[in-house]
């Protein structure tokens, strides 16, 4: 990866009369959970030049100038351009759209009905030419390029639309099948190596509306596809069948989860939606089904049905003019009308100056007798990485509370002979500490083993609902603090307790900072500074393979503490 140029546009023909313009950012630009792996991203625009010319999904304003320079090189003149096809509406594209309209006033937008409404509201003083696509209409560009359109609305993107070109059999899949990953490779030649990034992208963006993903997969199955052309990341040509199958499995597994949480939100400037996304990731990691509902778009019956079938709900709201917006008032009224105060509740949101919306929502829920899974989160202005990590942990804690409640209601089976035998496998008691940017966290672990001699490597098994899990991707750094039998119980007692999201895990202990920026517990008997190399999904855990780059024996006479269990079905 070439990091010398933070932004550029890669131009390449990909099929007959078809070119991709990949606006590339090699570094993370936005504070959103979907970008947390910090591997950059691409904003893919597609150009189809036949008898008429169309572009699909021009990039956001951070690329406007360099994108227009690259696009101009692909055209004889600007008047050659006829259509802009939008797979979804995003305010950060407005600057690019405005420039294009200034250059080519005759341009016609092709989009979904919700997208058309957003365009008209964005450009109230322009007479826009718009063709709306509801699913049966086509657009003939000539030379066999007859485009079909497949609406794929979801709570996050109500204006979602896929475009299919029967001539090239390319499906311009919008947000589906993407990944936030920047590189020189345009296609997915090493498709098996991309699964990790594609799965993370799915968990962040698609899992909270798995039902809509399943509906979209059903719709696109009706056309023969040779290539997926998403708006982010590599184009999918080699691993198309495998990724399609993975999306089906991931969305079905999510939809079938036993415990459900309704995540209701409205967002004035996108900040509350960003917080909702972080909550959804934490809930998803913890093994519950998330039903994400954008209250600005949802019908009252949809909200009511989600509340009735959920085990708990979380409401997110901005504060506008000292109050919650009307869609949140409507959703709150439905919650109170359903009247089941046995459901666990939570409240969050963003604000600029006051934040009265939180007090309103929280007060009405308290008056109705609801119990809360976490203290109301109030984020001022644009959320930071630390705030988003806190939301993720709150979501995980909320899910774990629901799971514990359900577990208490059911009789617990005794450990089987196999589980009893597995429980006799012992491991050294360690504390993993990790840091990424301003986010620092830790976990107690005993599922650690040496894996290789040369280079010196270890494996660590980490439960999917651990806060540290999202920092354990290839390239991630951590310190493995190996505890001694003389003092490990203090650490076990401390790290087994529940921490408030964002709470300092290390305040009670003597610490130092390793060369990789992570915390060293100086009372440990040894430590290793490690770099994550591989990550494998294994049931309810991730198995991490890491290389030990540095380390030190702090107490040469110390004896490693080991953890003894009675059964292999719990820690």
pLDDT the model gives residue 1: 41
Are 376 and 436 found together in one domain? no
Are 170 and 196 found together in one domain? yes
pLDDT the model gives residue 339: 86
Q: What CATH number is attached to the domain comprising 369?
A: 3.40.50.360
pLDDT the model gives residue 411: 67
Are 48 and 133 found together in one domain? yes
Distance CA(201)–CA(203), nearest Å, equals 6
Strands 170-174 vs 227-230: parallel, antiparallel or unpaired: parallel
Mean pLDDT across 100-125: 95
Q: What CATH number is attached to the domain comprising 475?
A: 2.30.110.10
Q: What CATH number is attached to the domain comprising 189?
A: 3.60.15.10
Are 90 and 188 found together in one domain? yes
Residue located via tokens 């606006």: 23
Are 201 and 74 found together in one domain? yes
Cα of first residue to Cα of last residue in the chain, in angstroms, is: 41
Are 205 and 267 found together in one domain? no
Distance CA(378)–CA(470), nearest Å, equals 23
Does residue 30 sit within a domain?
yes
Strands 541-553 vs 526-538: parallel, antiparallel or unpaired: antiparallel
CB atoms within 10 A of CB 325: 20
Are 382 and 476 found together in one domain? no
DSSP state of 384: P
Are residues 85 and 57 in contact, defined by beta-carbon separation less than 8 angstroms? yes
Are 165 and 309 found together in one domain? no
Does residue 570 sit within a domain?
no
Does residue 193 sit within a domain?
yes
Mean pLDDT across 253-257: 90
Are 385 and 421 found together in one domain? no
pLDDT digits (tens, 9 = 90+) for 353-408: 777 888 899 999 999 999 999 999 999 888 888 899 999 999 999 999 998 887 76
What backbone torsions phi and psi does residue 364 show, to the nearest 5 degrees? -70, -35
Strands 83-85 vs 108-111: parallel, antiparallel or unpaired: parallel
pLDDT the model gives residue 523: 94
Beta-strand runs (E) in 269-371 = 289-294, 312-316, 344-351
Q: Give CA 547 to chain center in angstroms.
A: 27
Are 374 and 449 found together in one domain? no
Does residue 571 sit within a domain?
no
| Of the residues 254, 273, 299, the one at which a domain ends | 254
Distance CA(241)–CA(227), nearest Å, equals 10
pLDDT digits (tens, 9 = 90+) for 151-162: 999 988 999 999
Distance CA(14)–CA(303), nearest Å, equals 43
pLDDT digits (tens, 9 = 90+) for 401-446: 998 887 766 666 777 877 787 777 788 999 999 998 888 889 998 8
- Region of residue 189 (phi > 0: left; psi between -120 and 50: alpha; otherwise: beta): alpha
| Of the residues 190, 220, 254, the one at which a domain ends | 254
Distance CA(422)–CA(440), nearest Å, equals 32
Q: Torsion angle of alpha carbons 508, 513, 518, 519, nearest 10°?
A: -20
pLDDT at 2 > cutoff 70: no
pLDDT the model gives residue 408: 61
Apex 357 CA angle, 353 and 361, nearest 5: 155
Question: What pTM does this model have?
Answer: 0.85
Domain enclosing residue 70, as ranges: 7-254
Strands 260-265 vs 289-294: parallel, antiparallel or unpaired: parallel
pLDDT the model gives residue 3: 47
More confident residue, 18 or 287: 18
Number of domains in the chain: 3
Are 216 and 117 found together in one domain? yes
- The first and second tokens of residue 451, run together, are 């894996």
Q: Give CA 3 to chain center in angstroms.
A: 24
| Of the residues 392, 409, 426, the one at which a domain ends | 409
Residues 6 or more apart whose CB falls under 8 angstroms from that of 473 comprise 37, 196, 200, 532, 535
Are 247 and 139 found together in one domain? yes
Distance CA(275)–CA(265), nearest Å, equals 10
């Amino acid at each position: 990866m070439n990091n010398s140029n933070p932004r550029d546009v890669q131009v390449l023909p990909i099929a007959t009369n078809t070119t991709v313009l990949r606006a590339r950012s090699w570094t993370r630009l936005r504070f959103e959970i979907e970008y947390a792996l910090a591997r950059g991203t691409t904003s893919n625009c597609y150009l189809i030049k036949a008898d008429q010319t169309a572009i699909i999904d021009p990039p956001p304003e951070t690329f406007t100038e360099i994108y227009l320079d690259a696009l101009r090189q692909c055209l004889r003149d600007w008047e050659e351009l006829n259509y802009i096809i939008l797979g979804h509406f995003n305010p950060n594209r407005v600057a690019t759209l405005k420039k294009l309209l200034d250059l080519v006033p005759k341009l016609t937008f092709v989009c979904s009905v919700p997208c058309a409404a957003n365009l008209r509201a964005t450009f109230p003083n322009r007479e826009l030419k718009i063709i709306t696509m509801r699913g049966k209409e086509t657009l003939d560009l000539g030379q066999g390029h007859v485009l079909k359109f497949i609406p794929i609305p979801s709570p996050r993107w109500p204006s979602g639309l896929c475009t299919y070109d029967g001539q090239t059999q390319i499906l311009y899949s919008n947000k589906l099948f993407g990944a936030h990953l920047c590189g020189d490779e345009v296609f997915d030649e090493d498709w098996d190596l991309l699964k990790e990034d594609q799965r993370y992208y799915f968990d962040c963006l698609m899992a909270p509306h798995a039902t809509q993903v399943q509906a979209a997969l059903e719709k696109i199955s009706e056309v023969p596809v040779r290539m997926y052309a998403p708006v982010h990341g590599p184009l999918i040509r080699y691993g198309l069948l495998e990724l399609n199958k993975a999306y089906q499995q991931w969305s079905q597994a999510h939809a079938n989860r036993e415990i459900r949480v309704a995540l209701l939100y409205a967002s004035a400037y996108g900040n509350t939606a960003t917080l909702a996304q972080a909550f959804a990731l934490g809930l998803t990691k913890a093994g519950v089904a998330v039903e994400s509902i954008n209250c600005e778009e949802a019908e009252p019956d949809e909200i009511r049905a989600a509340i009735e079938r959920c085990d708990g709900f979380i409401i997110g709201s901005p504060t506008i003019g000292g109050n919650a917006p009307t869609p949140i008032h409507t959703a709150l009224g439905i919650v109170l009308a359903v009247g089941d105060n046995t459901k666990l509740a939570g409240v969050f949101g963003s604000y600029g100056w006051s934040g009265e919306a939180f007090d309103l929502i929280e007060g009405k829920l308290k008056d109705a007798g609801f119990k809360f899974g976490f203290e109301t989160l109030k984020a001022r202005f644009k959320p930071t990485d630390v705030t988003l990590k806190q939301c993720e942990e709150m979501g995980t804690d909320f899910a774990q509370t629901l799971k514990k409640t359900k577990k208490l209601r059911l009789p617990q089976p005794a450990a089987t002979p196999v589980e009893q035998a597995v429980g006799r496998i012992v491991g050294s008691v360690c504390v993993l500490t990790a840091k990424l940017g301003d986010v620092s966290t830790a976990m107690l672990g005993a599922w650690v083993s040496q894996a290789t001699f040369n280079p010196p490597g270890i494996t660590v098994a980490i439960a999917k609902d651990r806060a540290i899990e999202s920092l354990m991707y290839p390239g991630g750094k951590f310190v493995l603090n190996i505890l001694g039998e003389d003092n490990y119980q203090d650490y076990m007692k401390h790290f087994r307790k529940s921490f408030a999201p964002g709470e300092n895990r290390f305040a009670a202990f003597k610490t130092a900072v390793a060369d990789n920026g992570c915390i060293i517990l100086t009372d440990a008997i040894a430590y290793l500074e490690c770099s994550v190399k591989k990550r494998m999904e294994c049931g309810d855990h991730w198995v991490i393979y890491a290389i030990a780059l540095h380390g030190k024996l702090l107490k040469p006479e110390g004896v490693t503490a080991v953890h003894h269990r009675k059964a292999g079905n719990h820690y």
